[in-house]
Amino acid sequence: MTQADRPPTKEELLEKAKQPAKEAMQLHPYYKGKIQTIPKCIIRGFDDFAIWYTPGVAAPCRDIQANPEKVWEHTNKGNTIAVVSDGSRVLGLGNIGPEAGLPVMEGKALIFKYLGGVDAIPICLNTQDPENFIRATKLLQPSFGGINLEDISKPKCFNILHRLKTDMNIPVFHDDQQGTATIILAGLLGALRHVGKELDQITIAMLGVGAANTCTAELLIEAGVPAGNIILCDRDGLLYKSREDLKQMKEDEHEKYDLAILTNEDQRTGDFGEALRGADVCISAAAPKPGLIKKEWVKTMASDAIVFACANPLPEIWPWEAKEAGARVVGTGRSDFDNQINNSLGFPAIFRGALDVRATTITDEMCIAAAQALADIAEERGFRDDYVIPGMEEWELYPREAVAVGMKAIEQGVARKQWEMADLLKHTTQIIKRSIDVTQALMDNGFIPKAPV
């Protein structure tokens, strides 16, 4: 019996919920943050600084001046991204500001390095104005091979992503939108293969129409789900073409308006219970409130139903309750339950692949390729009701996912550098494995001190 099969006691839940915060308050000040910079070049003696700095450095500077593309060869630009945020919507904490958001951006940078071999620099901007944010981020372009946007409130996050993707010639990716969508798609592809259903034949009910589910709906449509087979629900009920607030929605949140026009072919009205009636799939990115999705609603879903309740730190319905109500596959955002829908499965490898081919953008097709790679890996390892998507500890998935992204970029003509698939797989495997090994070596030799707790 897995933990998801039995309800934990209230005391167990409270203790588990308290432990990460308790240790975080001890270890963050102990290590003074989570990342640092260390040399990657040899330093045989002080004479070598004449190579790495003046006077020798003038030669590569002139080479780049004459041939701007040489910046990818002479510098670490090709392996460096910026994790940029204004702190306006940090995790479940809301608008806590740039300084308070910095620990999250450092954590993101740590995962980028450990799982993707990507050097990521956290940058928290002291502005809440979208135009200032866009201008500041565009000014960073010479130093970085990509931009990962993080924890930006809606609706401005949509326009910021669109503008930066349009105006910059390096990949710009918003993990709260594209990353979440990619991993939900990966879990869905795996679950559908497991239960024997086809993407273009299913109906999907989606609770929450924020940044995550908006982008997820768009990516699902791009991947092959008929738009009319998707029904979305916000706090005011189901989206449909003649809803009273549609005009205001068009002015304030045109992405949401577009989905209201495209989806819900049967024009159902009512609450989320109506959306779930007969649905094959439930995808929720709403509020961390168990009971928000009711058991009696899940009972009305189609056979072999799939339920992804992705709110953190608590899902909208407990996994055992969804299973008791008849769901066959259940996923959440928590690591202590089966089928974790975890963005960390996506963004390190997506950027690894994009950087290695020097992509100019990250397309929807590249995200779909990443999702398909994850589903393929889970299928190879053997689908079960409690395993339709790999776990982030399965590090071998990251090189394969990165290769899928990189090869799709080459196929689409958005890559500056060409690779043969076998060579790209060897390269990505080496760089990711080296990052993990270097971290272990630093710990083994005491350069990263042992934790006091």
* Catalytic (active-site) positions: 53, 108
Residue 26 tokens read as 């001890």
* Measured distance between the N- and C-terminal CA atoms of the chain, rounded to whole angstroms: 31
Query: Measuring CA to CA, which residue among 283, 360, 271, 345 is closest to residue 315?
Result: 283
**161 CB-contact burial (10 Å; exposed 0-12 / middle 13-18 / buried 19+):** buried
DSSP state of 329: E
Between CA 344 and CA 358 the distance in angstroms is 21
Q: Are residues 399 and 390 in contact, defined by beta-carbon separation less than 8 angstroms?
A: no
Helical segments of 53-179, H only: 58-66, 71-74, 98-116, 130-139, 156-167
Residues 41, 27: Cα–Cα separation, whole Å:
30
Contact in structure between 397 and 425 (CB atoms under 8 Å): no
Rounded-to-10 torsion of CA 163, 167, 171, 176: -10
| Element of type H or E holding 140 | none
- Give the C-alpha distances (Å, rounded to integers) separating 1 from 122, 134, 320, 384: 41, 50, 11, 14
